[in-house]
Amino acid sequence: MAYLLLIIGLAFFAGGHWVKRLAPDLRARMGDPKGRMILTVAMLAGVVLMVIGYRAAPVVQLWSPPAFLTHINNLLMLIAFWLFALSQMAGTIAARIRHKQLSAIKAWAIGHLLVNGDLASIILFGGMLAWAVASVIIINRQGRDWVRPANPSVVKDGLAFVAGAVAMVAVGYVHTLLGYFPYG
């Protein structure tokens, strides 16, 4: 049952994000405030179902990751938090990467796939990786031009890095409280 909740959660999360792009007529018929609220609730329900399903899933170990992958995971997490922060700041790197948030999700998912060899992790992180890759493809196929951030600044790259590092430490602390020490 836990695996089913996990998969349904992934479907709600991905589906909520993709309605705007794959079914624009349906999204338009929903109306703006109402449709946005329905999709937001669907995506939040997806996140809740993913968390419940992941936490309740019995451990089915498919492989045992070597310890050194923890360091690669931590580097990917730092990159993921930096990219996510760059999505809000016009740094020079932000001006070169079109899909900063989706790239952050891909780095996050790959990092977690490297250090978790159980079935639930492979479903969750593999599903999120597949969603992010598919989302980039869907967005790029729509052919919309990308407007690069104006006035990119190296200073903003640095500020985003600091913000990402602080967020990573905070998330690492929460992981530790939940019983998962993420730093090896």
Domain spans in the chain, listed from the N-terminal domain onward: 1-58, 59-184
Residue type, 4: L
pLDDT at 59 over 90: yes
- Whether residue 116 contacts residue 125, with contact meaning beta carbons closer than 8 Å, is answered with yes
Question: Nearest 5°: phi and psi at 108?
Answer: -60, -50
> Would you state the pLDDT for residue 36?
84
pLDDT at 147 over 90: no
| Predicted TM-score of the model (pTM) | 0.90
Determine which of 18-32, 47-61, 68-82 has the lowest per-residue pLDDT on average.
18-32
- Whether residue 84 contacts residue 102, with contact meaning beta carbons closer than 8 Å, is answered with no
pLDDT at 28 over 80: no
- Whether residue 3 contacts residue 119, with contact meaning beta carbons closer than 8 Å, is answered with yes
pLDDT at 50 over 80: yes
pLDDT at 165 over 90: yes
CB within 8 Å of 6: residues ≥ 6 apart: 49, 50, 53, 54, 57, 120, 123, 124, 127
Give the model confidence (pLDDT) of 120-146 as tens digits: 999 999 999 999 999 999 999 987 787
Mean pLDDT within 78-87: 94
